[in-house]
A and B are shown apart, each in its own frame.
Chain A
């Protein structure tokens, strides 16, 4: 089921509930100006692990699956990202390639911001930068949970540990 596109962040009813989106008016206006909105069908790959970071993707609604891949094609799911999350953030901030592959699980509205524009925005708006810091902390917390879940189950056989996502 497709919902209508919310062109402006100011019109979004879910804004106050979301860590990043609940910004002061001037920062939100600036963010509105640098983002482009699109509707992505289920199964779309937003970005691939190892590719240079073009920008960030804000999931306005819907979910995305984040996975990592080995050299021989085996795939492991890191987590499922939900609405209000910003994907590709760490890669865009540090200028490194995307650490994961992101694939849409639902037909969703996604806001894209180019890397250059995002970095400029963060330098200009301290509040937004602080929100990004909080988002990154959350991402990191989840990644450590995953490491704990995988890495501390030490089995005698060789091969990956199968854990529920």
Chain B
């Protein structure tokens, strides 16, 4: 059962069910089993304390900095862990600093004054959140809420701006990240403003998700559905009922098949046709 999102709360407490499941299927929350020994860690995350020894450094745009810059970054960052459902920052809030997502995923959304929500994207590890607001000093443009337990490295605004002034490489990486975000935002504008129907948008989204994690080349790619039907509706600008109906139709036509939260795309060609590709 997926916990319901309460728009009014700033931090949502982790449900008991989540705690029981744990992160690695371990029945006791917060206990990581490594090599037969139990290691206590928050939310079952293995916290990476130092960027310099992080094994994933080279795969990530922002993190792949020369040692001197990374050492300076180490001095200004605060490594923190958040449970699922924690709100890192809220749209309209004055920018406190950046949040480098080390582990886990975060939902980025925009809200209208009458409570409608649009999910812009799901941020993956390696992404720097709150970047444009921190750089410009303008309020955060999006709300960031974790959908997994996350490790996040927070850097205060003044420390980050000083860091950028002193390290040209880091400045360039930030430019690259901002470019990627802009690309994504333009993609959203195109998708929201020009797509014919919810069916087309859903098909596009499923194709995009199925192209990740090495599944792109497969005839029948798999994808793990990380979002509820309501959240998917918020991503493509339609209603939850429409998304549920569309999924039912796709399953009936045997274009997709679901096993729990894993979706198998049986007929990629039909899905592409639906997406208008």
| Partner-B contacts on A (CB < 8 A) | 68-72, 74, 76, 78, 89-91, 93-94, 96, 99-100, 122-123, 126, 129-130, 132-134, 136-141, 143-144, 146-148, 150-152, 154, 158-161
For this complex, 28 residue pairs linking A to B, each with C-beta atoms less than 8 Å apart, are: A71-B277, A76-B194, A89-B179, A90-B183, A91-B179, A93-B175, A96-B183, A99-B187, A123-B172, A126-B171, A130-B165, A134-B135, A136-B132, A136-B175, A137-B135, A137-B138, A138-B136, A140-B141, A140-B181, A140-B182, A141-B136, A144-B142, A150-B192, A152-B112, A152-B118, A154-B116, A154-B237, A159-B197
The proximity string for B residues 126-149 relative to A, scoring 1 for CB distances below 8 Å and 0 otherwise, is: 000001100110100110000000
Instruction: Indicate whether B264 reaches chain A with its CB closer than 8 angstroms.
Output: no
CA distance A17 to B175 in the complex (A): 22
Query: What is the chain B residue whose CB lies nearest that of A78?
Result: B189
Query: What is the chain B residue whose CB lies nearest that of A94?
Result: B179
CA distance A93 to B188 in the complex (A): 20
When A144-B110, A154-B238 are in contact, do A133 and B171 touch as well, CB less than 8 Å? yes
Among B112, B183, B193, B194, the residue within 8 A (CB) of A94 is B183
> Interface majority SS on B: helix, strand, loop or mixed?
helix
- Whether the Cβ atoms of A100 and B186 lie closer than 8 Å is yes
The proximity string for B residues 173-203 relative to A, scoring 1 for CB distances below 8 Å and 0 otherwise, is: 0111011111101111110111111100000
- Whether the Cβ atoms of B136 and A137 lie closer than 8 Å is yes
- Whether the Cβ atoms of A147 and B277 lie closer than 8 Å is no
Residues of B within 8 A of A160 (CB): 193-195
- Whether the Cβ atoms of B181 and A151 lie closer than 8 Å is no
CA distance A146 to B165 in the complex (A): 30
When A123-B168, A152-B112, A160-B193 are in contact, do A140 and B237 touch as well, CB less than 8 Å? no
- Whether the Cβ atoms of B186 and A99 lie closer than 8 Å is yes
Instruction: Indicate whether B47 reaches chain A with its CB closer than 8 angstroms.
Output: no
Residues of A within 8 A of B136 (CB): 134, 137-138, 141
CA distance A124 to B182 in the complex (A): 24
Residues of A within 8 A of B138 (CB): 137, 141
Instruction: Indicate whether B27 reaches chain A with its CB closer than 8 angstroms.
Output: no
Tell me how far the C-beta of B106 lies from the nearest C-beta in chain A, rounded to whole angstroms.
16
CA distance A139 to B277 in the complex (A): 28
- Whether the Cβ atoms of A140 and B132 lie closer than 8 Å is yes
- Whether the Cβ atoms of B193 and A143 lie closer than 8 Å is no
- Whether the Cβ atoms of A93 and B118 lie closer than 8 Å is no
Instruction: Indicate whether B164 reaches chain A with its CB closer than 8 angstroms.
Output: yes
